[in-house]
Amino acid sequence: MKFSANLGFLWNELTLPDAIRAAKLAGFDAVECHWPYDVPAAEIRAALDETGLPMLGLNTRRGDVAAGDNGLSALTGREVEARAAISEALDYARATKTRAVHVMAGFASGPEAHASFIANLRFACAEAEAHGITILIEPLNHHDAPGYFLQTTEQAQDIISEVNHPALRLMFDCYHVQIMEGDLTRRLQNLLGLIGHIQFASVPDRGAPDHGEVDYHAIFATITRLGYDRPLGAEYKPAGKTEDSLSWFSVF
């Protein structure tokens, strides 16, 4: 198996360039992050070049986090901000050779929110395609993100088929999908052609994948059997130091 360190959670006490170096030292094959915008892209690019690790993904800005925003692209009336966030993320991705941008929907519901999300995703896909960047959408669970627009893979599947653009893919985060829908093995199998990236964490505590209600031995075996060989995103919250949370790494 190949693994990507999600630096939003792993080594998040370090600067992002140093976290990239720590992931390399620990033996990860790739990295991904959440919101890298406080760090000049050139510094990230230098750390990636130095370590040889690819950056698999980053997220669009959430908006006004202090006011409760968690993404902008499904927010009717906030299209200008949403598209600025998408363009900013794509520029940052190009400058760092990051492969995918996760377009965050935000807290919203209903047909207007759906229409806004579709229109903003079409904008994102058209911009991304020219640069070979993938656009990801990710269902989040309703305990961690109550009221988030995108909550299930079924809803994501409908959105992907309505947008109907080759740049748009599903971020299948096993942690969120297990909480909302379960049936991980069948869902991975059925959605394989739509999946752009897979992430994992224990359920329900979002820790390392060596405990909890999901048997990651079985899930990773399924992913391998399906022929998916890209790095899987370790997006979990270490109980202590990241280095002390990595015993699962040699097991899988």
Residue positions annotated with a catalytic role: 138, 235
Site string for ligand LCNOYBR7, 49-68 (x = CB under 6 A): ----------x---------
CA distance 19 to 31: 9
Site string for ligand LCNOYBR7, 194-213 (x = CB under 6 A): -----x--------------
Shortest CB 136 distance to ligand LCNOYBR7, Å: 9
CA distance 40 to 237: 25
**Residue 169 near ligand LCNOYBR7 by CB under 6 A:** no
**Residue 173 near Mg ion by CB under 5 A:** yes
* Cβ closest to ligand LCNOYBR7, residue 29 vs residue 235: 235
State which of residues 173, 177, 234, 236 lies at the interface with ligand LCNOYBR7 (CB under 6 A). Answer: 173
CA distance 57 to 134: 9
**Residue 235 near ligand LCNOYBR7 by CB under 6 A:** yes
Shortest CB 182 distance to ligand LCNOYBR7, Å: 17
CA distance 51 to 24: 6
Contact region for Mg ion (CB under 5 A) — 100-108, 162-170, 173-181, 188-196? 173-181
| Cβ atoms 113, 75 nearer than 8 A | yes
Strand order in the sheet with 232-234: 30-32, 3-6, 232-234, 195-200, 168-173, 134-137, 100-102, 57-59
CA distance 83 to 205: 34
CA distance 177 to 213: 13
| Strands (DSSP E) found in the chain | 3-6, 30-32, 57-59, 100-102, 134-137, 168-173, 195-200, 232-234
* Cβ closest to ligand LCNOYBR7, residue 25 vs residue 65: 65
**Residue 174 near ligand LCNOYBR7 by CB under 6 A:** no
Shortest CB 173 distance to ligand LCNOYBR7, Å: 5
CA distance 57 to 169: 12
State which of residues 34, 61, 99, 114 lies at the interface with ligand LCNOYBR7 (CB under 6 A). Answer: 34
Residue with tokens 């911009």: 127
With CB under 5 to 8 Å by kind, the binding choice for 90 among ligand LCNOYBR7, Mg ion, none is none
Shortest CB 148 distance to ligand LCNOYBR7, Å: 9
Q: Would you say the C-alpha torsion 41, 60, 70, 210 has a positive or negative sign?
A: negative
Residues that bind ligand LCNOYBR7 (CB under 6 A): 34, 59, 102, 138, 140, 173, 176, 199, 235
